[in-house]
Amino acid sequence: MNERLEFRRIQMELETRRQFLKSGALGLGSLWLAQAGFTNDVIATLGSNADRASVRREPHFRPRAKRVIYLHMAGAPSQLEMFEYKPELQKLDGQDCPQEFLSGKRFAFIRGIPQLLGPVFPFRQVGQSGAWLSDRLVHFEKVADKVCFLHAMQTDQFNHAPAQLLVMTGNQSPSYASAGSWVTYGLGTETQDLPGYVVLLSGGRFPDAGKSAWSAGFLPSVYQGVQCRSSGDPVLFLSNPPGTSSEIRAAEIEAIRQVNELTYREVGDPETLTRIAQYELAYRMQISASDAMDIRHESAATLEMYGAKPGEEILANNCLLARRLIERGVRYVQLFDWGWDAHGAGQNEALNYGFKDKCQQMDRPVTALLLDLERRGLLDETLVVWGGEFGRTPMRENRGGKPNEYAGRDHHPHAFTIWLAGGGVKPGFSYGETDSIGYFPVKDAVNPRDLHATILHLLGIDHRRLTYRHQGLDQKLTSVKPARIISEIVA
Amino acid sequence: MRLNRRSVVGLVLASVALLSLARSDEGSGAPTISFATQVRPIFNQHCIACHGGIKQTAGISFVYRDTVVGTTADDGKVVVPGNPGESELIARISSTDPDERMPPQDHGGPLSPDEIGILRQWIAEGARWETHWAFEPPKHRPIPKVSHAEWCRTNLDFSVMEQWDRLGLKPNRPADPATWLRRVSFDLVGLPPTAEELDEFLIDSSPLSREHVVERLLSSPRFGERWASPWLDLARYADTMGYEKDLGREIWPFRDWVIRALNDDMPFDQFSVKQLAGDLLPNASLDDRLATAFHRNTQTNAEGGTDDEEYRVAAVIDRANTSAQVWLGLTLGCAQCHDHPYEPIANAEYYRFLAFFNNTRDYDTDEEFPKAAIPYDRNQSEAASQLDRDIQARKRQIQASVEPWFGDDRWQNAKIESAQATGSNELCFDAVDGLWEIRTGASLTAGSTYTIDCPLPPEATRITAIRLDALPLDVGAAAKLPQPGFILSYFKLQLLVPDRDPIDIPLRYALDEDPEPFYSASESLDSNLQGFSGYPRQSQINRAIFVPAVPVDCPPGGKLRFVLEHHSSSEHLFQIRRARFWYCGDDFWSEPPRQESLELKHCALADLEWRRSRLNSISVPVLSELPPERRRTTFVFHRGSFLEPTEIVTPSTPRALSSSKSNPLADRLELARWLASPENPLAARVFVNRIWNELFGSGIVESIENFGSSGQFPANEALLDSLAIRFQSGMRWRLKQLLREIVLSSTYGQDSSVDRGAWSADPRNRNLARGPRNRLSAEMVRDQALAVAGVLSEKMYGPPVMPPQPDGLWLSAYNGQSWHNATGEDRFRRAVYTYCKRTSGYPGLLSFDAPTRDVCVVKRIATNTPLQALVTLNDAAFVELAHAFGERIRNCDRADPRDKIAWGYRLATSRDPSPKKLDLLLELFEKISKSTDPLKVSDEAETPYSIVASALLNLDEALTK
């Protein structure tokens, strides 16, 4: 079609020119000249003049991972009841916390002198790697040899919303770009018909940081995560309105396209061409997103393996959806599962009640996800990350100075566990150690910047070179502070 | 792929050469090298990573002249003016020894010969170090001579054409009148012209027809509604607090204040001063105080277990950064942790600027104190303002009369004999420096009651008043970093007499030393209220006086018992950590009532407060300054962390911006007056540029958020400066005047389409040789649909509304609020009135790039995405409007479908369709008519007309202005 060829030629002209002019958003990718075919072009030029220039498509070096599934357990799960075995803490159970751990520290809810709380559940060693798991993780035993634990993760935020923002966007304040936005900005997407960055929620609530946790921040809004849902419209406004058949809709979009093409001939504004392309893309997305999000297409065995229940908004469904989306070329799938904040102030947030249930709801589908990805040959090039926004204190929470009614732990920014799997990380490996009660790291601490630098590295991106000009600064996911690629965990 | 840096630089130089041409008339013998456009960019790109604001390796920073340019060869500086051969800089950048050469290989490698040549020539010409253009006041320029003066309609056209004459460009043809009308209608009132307005304009042959249109639009109440949105982006206005819980916040009267001020064309200097410091204006009205809600749009963190001081500081930092963004066009926040990397703004200067904002009462409390009570009925504003002033005056009077009474010399410190607390609190007591006090230990339990017994000496036979001092555990440390606060929920006084039950002493009233505490001592007399407080944090001693109903006669051996109840929640533990008790027998407290006695003053105050409470009002968070004696000390924070205060600073503006004659500014009010004055070289430029961006889609300075040296140069400096100068003088800071000049100009009135060659030569229209063509803003997309559907409500002001949005989008943790789709008129209000929830914005607006309003947003980046198409095609809120629009088309007074569709097309795009386009739409209509049952007309099923209406609303021409 003439318009299409014309469109591509203009885009290339524009792009070349902008690269040389080097103004506004800096981005000197080799995108245009390397691309072939209209549809790729359309994807690559999502957005207006303002952001075309900042699109990069090619990684900086050979990637180990092509895609990411990030499982965030919002509320911060207790490492001491899952992956971090501390027999010494068991011995000290019930004793007053030594003053050295309290003075100068800020706590969300602990007041006065709290008591140490031993692991609430027994641990055992599993697999060849001999990883320690609590008895709450039954299925996970099968994949423990596939994951790489970071036992000495640290943050500097001890409230949920800021800590989630920090681990998602690299900054504790809202308005920064999330890691998923950076990755889609850096690599684009491999799918023509789906958003490149999809967000799935379970647990009945937003993560505490709300939509800011998947915001594009200062990046153009095309890079923000698109929330998909397993009930209702899978993507907001995806379905035709009641009474509008797909034939009618097809005719309407065709008419819009034809009129817009005439407008382009009259006015010559390339934005009109972009708009034509976006309407076609929207139409295709209506079909492919509905299909991708429909887990009823899966076999009964698969549904069983994940514990998925079509129509519900649960973590199991979202784990399965993550795999379906990844299969279809989505670059970054971000899951949030709300409800891990086990303070012990009430039953549903007690370690031996609500938390126990959360473990059960997580154990099976997350295990299934890793097994399923592996079985389909996707694990090698899919990086899976699992974690919370901080850890839990070795002390039993004593809200208002009195031990809480149920066993629970307060927010603990100094040390917690996250794990990675697939996508070029060492399987069956543990990195980082904490002291005998799990309070501070004693070896190989990792902060969120290091984690981000490492995720980008595995994706073939140099975190120092993935930048976007905003407010006079070349902004980076890893900010201006030092960030280290954890090369020790790269396979 | 990495581009060859030389070619990039070459092109940069070629493009900046045009700019330097503009400057070359500054006198003969002028240097050929421009520092600002040629030298500084080299420093910024290659040197400042190690020799800049952050790292100043070897004491050299290319941000500060003094560290670079010397006078003689042996003063240790790397540049010797006039002598490149003696300059270490040249030696290092041209060295062939990789160990010597700058920049080192791992920092980008050697400079190009061109770049070295520029630096060499610059030094040879004297190494002149220019102040960054934007830090110099705008220069007044006479109206230039141009090739086609007859083309120019307003002053700005001359500046535009002057540049064209230099570049050999010509104006584009004028836009057709309908296009101009659509453009100007959206730009001024945010709505498309109605069919009648279009007809009227097209037949109006008077030479002033455009002026008439502009006057009509400028005086429309819709004007303020349209122009409020960009300002509210800057103000980060939202209807919720943000962060985790994202609770509702009633601050919409501020949005209404902005709309009114814009409609009244309040001059921008006044508009600014009121919002930054309306509370400090002499005789401030309630409206002036309401304006300061501008800086209460910062987020409040109500998440459990957060540190209120941390988020108070975060809000103050946001205020400083936002003020710098809005009035200086600078990214001052870069200097928060270290010296600014590019601009000559030192780390400490950031905190000096911040100090202006660090003295307000607000404290990240969930209640969002302090607030102003704004009457719902505007007619009561005046009366309310007057009552507020009277109440203030009364309070000051009372304060003045009791203030001397807080002095220690009038009181006896009560010796403590026992102190007990409920719960696991350890209460110890002893005399420190001769003063008896109680202190809590490490272990604390919420809701504890303290009982303190104090034996009285024989001479204390009569007690007329009690003073209670609540102290931070460490008074010195609290001055640097506030300590946990307290609320004394209930205070009870008893007299202990040997062999008798304790006797309750009724208390008549209580007085705070703090003139405006969030919770007052008098509340401690009622166990249902809050109470005497240092809330939410304590940074100094808080004192309160309690006065018994009648003087207490103490028998020998009598003791006073103080009972202190704390009711605060377990989360906060607002409990007194340390306290002293005092008693006094002076008759001052027990004098019989007489004229102007404390008692009467209290009655008068209570009467005023009662009358004020009768004016039905909404409480809005506002700024309120702490009195001098309670002022905060501002520190430089080490690496930006409030937990590490270092050097003490006093308020001042960055030196780079202050003219030598400007005196140090005393407070926020003086800062506000300076920020919005010609003394600030940036105020008018930054404002004018933002307005230009709003109309043309990009600013004269394209980096509208950054006027610093790392930002871009103005595409037409003369145009920017002449508009800025005239805006702040002739136009007297009036937005409507500025808009009048712009929209009536020939530049603005040009056609937006040009041939491919012209377009490719200037794709972003930096030279303005064509008219603007931009996508509608998020608000305009919705408002247009409302308007053409014929349902747009003209109701103004009031609480935010909830037009339809899908279920299940509001899921904030620990927040029970929900979205209820509005019915009736509120369903169809202008987008500016839509409820704005920070963590879950209205999807239809966010898709079209409306910001979340978390922080100040200077520029919305216009995107073009498939999700936008899904909104305008499928969002129920839109479908409803397409349906209404379809019905309107069906019922219009045209005979056949073709004419009806043409009528609708004109409504949605402000122009007549070409026959070919009309054919296509008619074809769509007929196709659907065939496929649908003509008898089946329900609200659910779409009619052929509503599908055509939907198509019309989705046309490129409809989404564009």
Q: What is the mean pLDDT of residues B420-424?
A: 90
pLDDT score at B941 = 55
- Residue-wise pLDDT for B304-330, tens only, equals 889 999 999 999 999 999 999 999 999
Is a pLDDT exceeding 50 seen at residue B640? yes
Confidence category of residue B674, pLDDT binned at 50, 70, 90 = very high
The A residues from 325 to 344 touching B (CB cutoff 8 Å) are 338
Residues 6+ apart with CB under 8 A from B697: B765, B772, B773, B774, B862
Collect all residues with Cβ–Cβ distance below 8 Å to B819 and sequence separation of at least 6.
B802, B805, B809, B810, B835
Chain A residue nearest residue B15, CA to CA: A21
Query: What pLDDT was estimated at residue B96?
Result: 87
In the prediction, which pLDDT does B784 show? 98
Q: Which chain A residues touch B54 with a CB distance below 8 Å?
A: 480
User: Are A210 and B755 in contact (CB < 8 Å)?
Assistant: no
DSSP A91-149: HTTTSBPPGGGTTT---SSB-S--BB---SS-EEEETTTTEEEETT-SGGGGGGGGEEE
Give the other-Cβ count within 10 Å of A62's Cβ.
Answer: 6
Q: Which residues from chain B sit within 8 angstroms of residue A18, using beta carbons?
A: 763
Confidence of residue B756 (pLDDT cuts 50, 70, 90): confident
Measured between CB atoms, does A279 come within 8 Å of chain B?
Answer: yes
The token pair at B140 is 């007044």
Alpha carbons B266 and B644: distance in angstroms, whole number? 42
With beta carbons less than 8 A apart as the criterion, state whether B894 and B903 touch: yes
Of A14, A285, A472, the CB nearest to B710: A472
pLDDT number for residue B25:
38
pLDDT at B47: 87
Q: What is the pLDDT of residue A204?
A: 86
Residue A190: band (very low, low, confident or very high) from pLDDT cuts 50, 70, 90:
confident
Quote the pLDDT of residue A6: 53
Chosen for mutation from B812, B865, B883, B936 (greatest number of chain A CBs closer than 10 Å) is B865
What tokens were used for A174? Answer: 């809202």
Kindly report the nearest CA distance between residue A19 and chain B, in angstroms. Answer: 8
Would you say residue B38 has pLDDT above 90?
no
pLDDT score, position A21? 29
pLDDT in the model for residue A166: 96
- Of A47, A208, A255, which is closest to B813 when you measure between CB atoms? A208
Contacts of B876 in chain A (CB under 8 A): 241
Q: Is A264 in Cβ contact with B942 (below 8 Å)?
A: no
pLDDT of residue A12: 46
Q: Quick check: B752 and A14 CB within 8 A?
A: no
pLDDT given at position B659 = 64
SS (H, E, C) A354-422: HHHHHHHHHHHHHHHHHHHHHHCCCHHHEEEEEECCCEEEEEECCECCCCCCCCCEEEECCCEEEEEEE
Residues in B closer than 8 angstroms to A21, CB to CB, are 11, 15
**Mean per-residue pLDDT, B33-61:** 85
Contact B920 A271 (CB under 8 A): no
Sign of torsion, CA B796 B799 B804 B806? positive
- The first and second tokens of residue B598, run together, are 């404390």
Q: CA nearest B775 in A: which residue? A: A271
Q: Do B811 and A252 touch (CB under 8 A)?
A: no
Residue B29: band (very low, low, confident or very high) from pLDDT cuts 50, 70, 90: low
**Each residue of B165-209: pLDDT tens digit?**
999 999 999 999 999 999 999 999 999 999 999 999 999 999 999
Q: Is the pLDDT of residue B807 over 80?
A: yes
B754 to chain A: which residues are within 8 Å by CB? 268
Judging contacts by C-beta atoms under 8 Å, the chain B residues touching residue A31 are none
Mutation target to probe the A interface, by most A beta carbons within 10 A, among B567, B956, B961 is: B956
A125: closest CA of chain B, how far (Å): 36
Q: What is the ipTM of this complex?
A: 0.88
Beta strand A382-387 with A67-74: parallel, antiparallel or unpaired?
parallel
- Average pLDDT rounded to a whole number, residues B9-28: 40
Q: Do B301 and A282 touch (CB under 8 A)?
A: no
Among B301, B870, B918, B926, which would you mutate to test the A interface (most chain A Cβ atoms within 10 Å of its Cβ)? B870
- Asked if residue A362 lies in contact with residue A369, where contact means CB atoms within 8 angstroms, the answer is no
Mean pLDDT of A55-76: 88
- In terms of CA atoms, which chain B residue is nearest residue A46? B865
Check CB contact under 8 Å for B705 and A471: yes
Confidence of residue A42 (pLDDT cuts 50, 70, 90): very low
- The separation between CA A473 and the C-alpha centre of its own chain, rounded to angstroms, equals 25
Higher pLDDT, B332 or B794: B794
Q: Which of B15, B875, B956 sits opposite A272 (nearest CB)?
A: B956
Q: B502 vs B589, which has greater pLDDT? A: B502
**Residue-averaged pLDDT of chain A:** 86
Q: Give the pLDDT mean for A366-382.
A: 97
pLDDT of B8 over the 50 cut:
no
Chain B residue whose CA is closest to A234: B806
- Asked if A401 lies within 8 A of B708 by C-beta distance, the reply is no
Give this prediction's pTM.
Answer: 0.89
Residue in A166, A156, A409, A158 with CA at minimum distance from that of residue B306: A158
Residue scoring higher pLDDT (B444 or B871): B871
Mean pLDDT on B124-132: 87
Average the pLDDT over A28-45 and give the result.
29
Chain B contacts in chain A segment 423-462 (CB below 8 A): none
pLDDT at residue B2 above 60?
A: no
Q: What is the pLDDT of residue B935?
A: 52
Chain A residues with CB inside 8 Å of B445's CB? 112, 400-402
pLDDT for position A7: 52
Determine the residue among A218, A256, A395, A473 to mutate to test chain B binding: the one whose Cβ has the most chain B Cβ atoms within 10 Å.
Answer: A256
Residue B18 has pLDDT above 50, yes or no: no
Q: Which residues of B touch A256 (CB under 8 A)?
A: 951, 954-955
Decide if A211 and B840 are in contact by the 8 Å CB cutoff: yes
Q: Which of residues 191 through 210 in chain A touch B, CB cutoff 8 A? A: 195, 201, 204-210
pLDDT tens digits, B87-121: 889 989 988 888 888 988 888 788 899 999 999 99
Give the mean pLDDT of chain B.
Answer: 90
**pLDDT, mean of residues B661-681:** 88
SS3 A229: coil
Phi and psi angles of residue B747, each rounded to the nearest 5 degrees, phi first: -60, -50
Q: Return residues 400-419 of A near B (CB < 8 Å).
A: 400-402, 410-411
Of B11, B917, B940, the CB nearest to A259: B917
Whats the size of chain B, residue-wise? 961
Query: In chain B, what percentage of residues exceed pLDDT 90?
Result: 69
Question: Rounded to whole angstroms, how far apart are CA atoms A443 and A431?
Answer: 9
Q: How confident is the model at residue B933 (pLDDT cuts 50, 70, 90)?
A: low
Radius of gyration of chain A (CA): 24
CB contacts, 8 Å: A282 with chain B: 866-867, 869-870, 873
- What pLDDT is stored for residue A59 in this prediction? 87
User: What DSSP state is assigned to residue B538?
Assistant: E
Assess A387–B contact: CB distance below 8 Å, yes or no. no
Cβ-based contacts under 8 A for chains A and B: 318
pLDDT the model gives residue B4: 44
A221 or B295, which is more confident: B295
pLDDT at site B427: 93
Euclidean distance between CA atoms A36 and A59, whole angstroms: 17
Contact across the interface for B843 and A237, Cβ inside 8 Å: yes
Q: Closest CB to A401: pick one of B304, B424, B867.
A: B424
- Token pair 């002493």 is found at B505
Is the confidence at residue A34, as pLDDT, over 70? Answer: no
Q: By the CB < 8 Å criterion, does A352 face chain B?
A: no
Contact between chains at B244 and A160 (C-beta distance less than 8 A): yes
pLDDT tens string B479-520: 899 999 999 999 999 999 988 999 999 998 899 999 889 999
pLDDT digits (tens, 9 = 90+) for B565-582: 999 877 788 999 999 999
CA distance A279 to chain B (A): 6
Instruction: Give residue B414's pLDDT band: very low, low, confident or very high (50, 70, 90).
Output: very high
User: From the CA of A363, how many Å to the nearest CA of chain B?
Assistant: 24
Percent of chain A with pLDDT over 70: 88
